[in-house]
């Protein structure tokens, strides 16, 4: 980031060094705050990258939630190019998110044990931003709010997200406005419940994909959703494999069955009908 031309020394081609208070970079990025949020709980030198990778992933979750909320709002207002831009950005952000598994992907059990005890019951299972991400995919669950009862702001944000239409709900409403026969039971579903796949919606996607010339925009939308679904599935699988390498079949810090529980979670199909429709095109 450069300083404004006004701030540079006249006639000089080097950056300005003089600021009366904090630098404009600091005022914008808050790097001093961000780089002092790392408080490892053990003396193990390997814990730092575990903590920072987790924080980096939280930041990516935050950006991706922002993109999907932007896309949802744009779809609701029939501003398809705006929605497609946000979805496209989120696909590249998901790729960056998934690349950040690298430093943790090959932990040995002994390495992970060096700081695992210090984590106590702390687990990514308690990530509120990850829940918002899942809620936007249509994977709603009121019970996922329970761990956050003691944190009023986080709880209120999750509660709001639980009752709002997901990204996929907005897509299905768009399909209905475009004349596709989306059933009333889908359009008026209880938004706080997990989205259940519908045969009619599968038929609609199959029809759209079978006639790409007439449905160019919707095919592109379907493909953007497919990219998102694939990359979320890859995140879940990378997490699963990293966990299997680091702790085998031990129970998780949040008390789950660990790998066995994560395997079930990774089997979920994001935007189910954009996948199942492919068998019928």
For ligand HEM, which is the closer residue by CB, 97 or 225?
97
DSSP classification of residue 123: -
For ligand HEM, which is the closer residue by CB, 181 or 248?
248
For ligand HEM, which is the closer residue by CB, 58 or 93?
58
User: Is 192 in contact with 140 (CB distance < 8 Å)?
Assistant: yes
Closest distance of CB 225 from ligand HEM, Å: 20
Closest distance of CB 128 from ligand HEM, Å: 10
Closest distance of CB 59 from ligand HEM, Å: 10
For ligand HEM, which is the closer residue by CB, 24 or 124?
124
For ligand HEM, which is the closer residue by CB, 23 or 123?
123
User: Is 142 in contact with 192 (CB distance < 8 Å)?
Assistant: yes
Q: How many CB atoms lie within 10 A of CB 277?
A: 20
Closest distance of CB 218 from ligand HEM, Å: 30
Q: In sequence order, which residues have a C-beta less than 8 Å from that of residue 266 and are 6 or more positions away? A: 233, 236, 237, 239, 240
Query: In angstroms, how far apart are the furthest CA atoms of the chain?
Result: 70
The string of DSSP codes covering 239-253 is HHHHHHHHHTTPPPT
| Interface positions with ligand HEM (CB under 6 A) | 53-54, 57-58, 104, 107, 123-125, 127, 130, 239, 242-243, 246-247, 252-256, 258, 261-262, 265
Closest distance of CB 224 from ligand HEM, Å: 23
């Amino acid at each position: 980031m450069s300083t404004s031309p006004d701030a540079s020394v006249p006639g000089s081609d080097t950056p300005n060094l003089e600021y009366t208070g904090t630098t404009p970079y600091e005022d914008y990025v808050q790097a001093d705050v961000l780089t002092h949020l790392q408080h490892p709980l053990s003396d193990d030198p390997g814990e730092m990258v575990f903590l920072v990778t987790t924080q980096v992933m939280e930041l990516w979750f935050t950006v991706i939630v922002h993109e999907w909320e932007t896309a949802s709002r744009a779809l609701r207002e029939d501003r398809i190019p705006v929605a497609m831009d946000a979805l496209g950005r989120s696909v590249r952000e998901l790729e960056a998110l998934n690349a950040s598994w690298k430093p943790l992907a090959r932990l040995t059990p002994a390495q992970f044990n060096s700081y695992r005890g210090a984590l106590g019951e702390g687990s990514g299972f308690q990530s509120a931003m990850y829940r918002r991400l899942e809620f936007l995919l249509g994977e709603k669950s009121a019970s996922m709010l329970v761990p956050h009862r003691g944190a009023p702001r986080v709880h209120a944000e999750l509660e709001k997200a639980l009752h709002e239409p997901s990204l996929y709900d907005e897509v299905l409403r768009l399909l209905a406005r475009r004349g596709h026969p989306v059933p009333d039971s889908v359009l008026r579903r209880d938004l706080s419940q997990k989205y259940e796949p519908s045969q009619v919606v599968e038929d609609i996607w199959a029809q759209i994909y079978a006639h790409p010339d007439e449905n160019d925009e919707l095919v592109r939308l379907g493909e953007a959703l497919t990219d998102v679904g694939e990359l979320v599935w890859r995140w879940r699988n990378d997490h699963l494999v990293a966990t299997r390498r680091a702790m085998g079949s031990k129970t998780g810090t949040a008390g789950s069955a660990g790998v066995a529980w994560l395997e079930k979670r990774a089997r979920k199909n994001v935007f189910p009908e954009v996948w199942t429709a492919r068998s019928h095109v």
